[in-house]
Every structure is written in structure tokens, then in C-alpha cells.
Structure 1
Amino acid sequence: MDAFPELLPFWDELSPEARAALQELLRQDPVLMQVLATWEAVQAQLHRALEGAVPDRRLWVLYALARSGRREALSAEEQALLESAKPVLEQALAVHPGLADVVRDLEAACADFDEVWKAHCGTDATFATDRGPRPLHRRARGYRWGVRLALGGVVLAFAGLLWWQQRTAWLTQIVDAGAVQTLTLPDGSSVRLVGPAVLRYAEHFNRRVHLEGQALLQVQPSQGSFVVETPEALITVQGTRFGVRAWKDTTEVILAQGRLTVHGRQNRALAVALSPGQLVRVAADGQISPPTMVNVPQALQWTGLHVFEGVTMAEIARHLTAFYQMPILVDTTLADELVVGTFAQTQPLEEILSALATTLGARLEQQDGSYRLMPGR
């Protein structure tokens, strides 16, 4: 897509079709993924620099009114505020020349408003410096606030692009195919990304992330919801552990622990609540498959982890036997014990079984090419 660089500043304003096209392009081209990450780092840095230079954006409205010969539209308090801030504004203009375009746009908006006012009211706008006839006073007051409303819109439209509002200042984590990366989000939630994967979230974290690829998430409980957005789905949780695979125009969600709700992005009226051990798939058109029960450790094998959430020791033994191709026997007194734990698939089997035995107060025996978990003495 030749227009990719030009669309970067407006990522959040793109239509669903345009975003889907860009996301597909990102999947196919790691170089473009890096371009996006670099761009977002630049925009975040620019946001911080401009906010530090002039934290109160309203000053630009006052500055433009004064420069365009409309100082009388300002109250005495506003004129004093502008005078005190003028050195800061001029310094910001010197350091960030692009702000001059914003000021010119504000001045042009003033002129446009004058023309509209004259066409509508049939008179030039005037300001009462003392108490004149009531109709004239009301007209001047209306003009004054009309100008401010008009300029407020210009500030949002033009200055917003320079300040990069917090919701569009993104941080991006990119994981290449075959790689794994675990990160902790600002709220304490953890994400294990299994490449190829891209995770994006606001620099000023709002418990909302955008995911392309595969991830296992452990969300910290909070008063507010945590939202995972993929090209096909919106996943809303409070505090839970679940896996997400967003690939090939389908999002797959597997719930290991807690509760969550899945919505189709193209049809948000559709929503499905999951219970632990259930899996759903969301298609590109927003259709959601009925929840199905799955073997969670097996369904989450792509994470590179053995994930056990309230699983019986007998089930764990069957899972590890199949994975390591080594017989594991469990005494009947231990078979129904529920276990919560996570182990890397690269860990030696004996190390995992020793940890499980310690948790259960059991002992581990090895004989005849197999392992046995027996009651502790």
C-alpha cells in the first residue's frame, strides 16, 4: 500500500476496511511493523515536548485573537494571562516552527467567522467597551463567544495533530516469528507474546491493548474493565487468564481462569460470555462460534508453557505423559487433587514433577522407565 506512511498519523480514524488492509500488510512485512513502531515513538516524544512547552492549549486561542486585531474580545484577566505567557508562546514558536501554521489557521478562522457573522447579522462585529444599548451589548457578547467556539474547533482540529493527544500516543511491542517476549503492563497485568505478534497500547495506559498475533494474558483485577482489541473481536475482562490468537481473519479466545466477554467488532450486538475451559472463534464478519469445552493445557500449547488452572493431578499426568513421551503414574489418593501452576515446556520433566510433588506433599519415584507420584511418608 503506497499510502501507508501518509496514513500513519490517522491510524485510529481509519475505516474498518482500511485498518484491516494495513493490518494485513503489517502481518506480511516486518519492516513496516518497525516503521509503525518508530513513528509511534516519534509521535510520543513530540507529544511530550509540546505539552512541556505550552501545557495550556487555550493560550493559542488568546494569542491568535490578539494577533488578528481582536484583543478586545479578551477579558482583562485573559489579556493579563496572555501578556504573562507571551514569552513562552514565542519561544515555543521558535523551537517548533510548525506551530506557526496552527496560529495562521486560527487567524484564518477568525476572518471566516467575521464573514459569516456579517452575512448572518448584516453588520460588522463590534465590541462594547462600556455599557451601551442592550442590543449592541448582546451582539458583541455573542460574537465574542462565537469566535471562541469557532477557534476551539480549530485548536482541536489542527493543534491536536501536533500535540498527539494521549489516546494516539502509542507504544508498540513487535515480536518476530519464532520468538517469545513477556512484558508487564503499567497496571501489573502480564502479556506473553508469541511471534509473530504486535501489541500496541497507549503511552498513558488505559487498560486497553491492540493485538495482532498470539498472546497469553494474565490481567490484574481492577475496578475498570481491561479490553483486548483484535481485527475481529473485542474481549472485555475484569481479572483473568486467557489466550488470544488473532490470525487468518479469525480471532480465537481460550479462557483458562476467571470470566470474560467476547464481542464481534463488526457486529457488537453479538456477545458471548466464557467460563473457564471454553473456547470461541470470531470471524471477520463479527460472527461468534458457540463456546466449546477444550483441554486447556493442550489448547494453550502454542504459548510454550504448560498452563494448569485448577486441573486434577490425573489430567496433568496424562498431559505430561503425551508431551514428554514418558509414563507418569499417580496414586489414586492424589489423582483428584486440583493444581494451579505454570511451567515452561523447556523445563525437564523431572523438575516439573518434583515441583508438583512438593506442592502436594507427595514423593516422586522413578523406576522401570516411568515416574510415580506417591503419598508422602
Structure 2
Amino acid sequence: MPKKRRLATAIALVCALTALAAPGTAWADPAPKPSATPQDPPRTLDEVSRQIDDLYRQASAATDAYNLAEEQTEQQSAQIVRLAQEIVLGQEKIRRLKDQAGATARMQYRNGGLPLGAQLMLSGDPDSFLNGADALRRGQQAAQGLLGELNRTQADLTAYSKDATAQWKALEANRVKKEAAKKDITAKIDAAEKLQSQLKEQERERLAELERKKEFDAQNAWLSTGILKDIGGSASEQGKKAVKFATDQIGKKYIWGAAGPDTFDCSGLTSQAWLAAGHPIPRTSQEQWARLPHVAVKDMRPGDLVIYFADATHVGMYIGDGAIVHSPRPGRTVTITGAGSMPILGVVRPDK
């Protein structure tokens, strides 16, 4: 099979499998409300608010799992393509080596089937014998080298094959993870939206007020610690570019799993902002927290990422003056809010 055809076939198989793998708490309102779910139905607007908050938090955690599986799937697909290319090249190399070995065998056959050493012994010419002995030594070395290279190439092909098999299995495992996370995300968002849809218009307005008050109170409590007196760092040049990109997206819709250009989830916004600044970072908020350098909250500067909640399921970008830009949750748009409006886990600096 021609080289280009074999490579195209290998990549086609990769593409086929890749296609299989491919997408706040508030103060209490005593008025009773209709049941939203068969389990623990909320009775007050405050309980509705907490339940909706919890559902979106769970959806956010599932979104991180989905995004991580998606990122790993892309890496594994690229690795499989590379391995397929290596296998094709290795097969071509083995073919050339075997052709060389065949040429040597055919030459020996033309010389009567006798090895070169035997031919020299029977020549009866001392000078020819001495010259031929040197040629014989070089020929033996070449043959040994040919055999060694053939064995190494075959070993490489075996290793490539094993690695490709492992990557296929990992790819399939991530496909399963993605599908499970997708179902979980959809279920949680649907449940939250169902709760909201069962509220009357006045109740929805009241719910929005409760959420705004929660954020306002949390931000005020954070600022009352005097934290802004300590925060005064200047953004790096890359940080300025990241902040500009993120703030340019204000007003665009939150869509889970999205990383632009028209919609974003929380970590999609921050990862794309730093990519635009020329400094790629991990895709998910949990990976950003796990893999990027940590800095103290008092030392943060514009462009740094503020990670929220104990499970690192939300992230925003600090833009100065105690504020962040972030993509909050389904039904919302990219916006600016107080850096202390949610429980801060910590701060990371991509370009430290």
C-alpha cells in the first residue's frame, strides 16, 4: 500500500474515533412557595435561592469534569495521529531494510551461492585475498548493522503499537466521562431552570434581589477587612493584555463548555484571555488552581485569577479596585462583580 494511502487510512481511523469522543444564598423570605422537586421541596424563596445556587454549583463542577475530559481527548487524539505517522514511517523503513537484505542475498546467489569468504579462499590469489578480506570485514559489519537497525525498528513499531492501544483506551474512557458529565450538567441546569420557571414574576424579581444582596453583603464584608489597602500591584504587560481581552467579552452569554469567541464558561473566559496574551494556561478552573503558581490575596494584581469555592469550581480575573470580570453561570453574561462576592479559595498568577 502506498505511503500516503497508509497514512491517510491511519488518520481516518483516528478521526473516526475522535468523532465518537466529540459536545447566590440569600436572606430569608417567609412566603411559602410551590414544590419544585419531589425531594425536599423548597418552602421559602430563600430555600429556592439556596437550591438553585447548589444546582448551578454542581453543574459547574460537572462542567469542569467535561472540559478536562475534552482537553485530554484532544491531546490523546493528537498523540494517536503522531503514533500513526510513526508507524507508517517505521513500516517504510523496514521495507527498505528488507530490500537491502534481499539485494545482498541476490548478489550471493549470482556468485554461485558461496559466501564471500569461501570465494576468497578458493581464489588462489594472495593480493586478492588480502583486499577481499578487508571488504569482507566491512561487509560483515554492514550486515550486522543492517540486522541491528531492522531489530530496533521492529521494536519501535511494537512500542508504538502498544502506546497507540493505550491511547485508544484512554480516549474511549474520556468519551465515557464526557458523556456522563454532559448528562449531569444538563440535569442540574434543567432542575435549576424548572425551579425558576415555577416562580411568579414578582418572586423571580425578588429572587434576583436576594442574589444581588448576597453578593453585595459578601463584597462589603470582604472590603471591610481593609484588604484593598494591601492590594496595589501593577499588572504585567501580559496581564494587561489578558484583562483587555476578558473585559472586551462583557455582555457575551455563559454557555457551559464554551471558550469563545461568542460564548464562554468561567474558565473558558480566563484561559482564552491568557491565550490571547500569549501565555497558554490550563483549560479548567480546577487545573488552573492545581497547576499555576499561587500568590497571596493581598499580593494579587490585575490579570491574576481568583479561584472560588472549596472545590475550585469557579474562576474570575482580577481587574483592580477590588473587582473581577467573570462568566457567572447559565442564563447570565460576562460581567464585572466584586472579587469578594463569592468565597475565595485563593489566587493564581499565570505569568509568575
What is the TM-score when the length of structure 2 is the normalising length? 0.26
Write 1 or 2 for the structure with the bigger share of helix: 2
Write 1 or 2 for the structure with the bigger share of strand: 1
Higher relative CO (Cα under 8 Å, sequence separation at least 6) belongs to 2
What is the TM-score when the length of structure 1 is the normalising length? 0.25
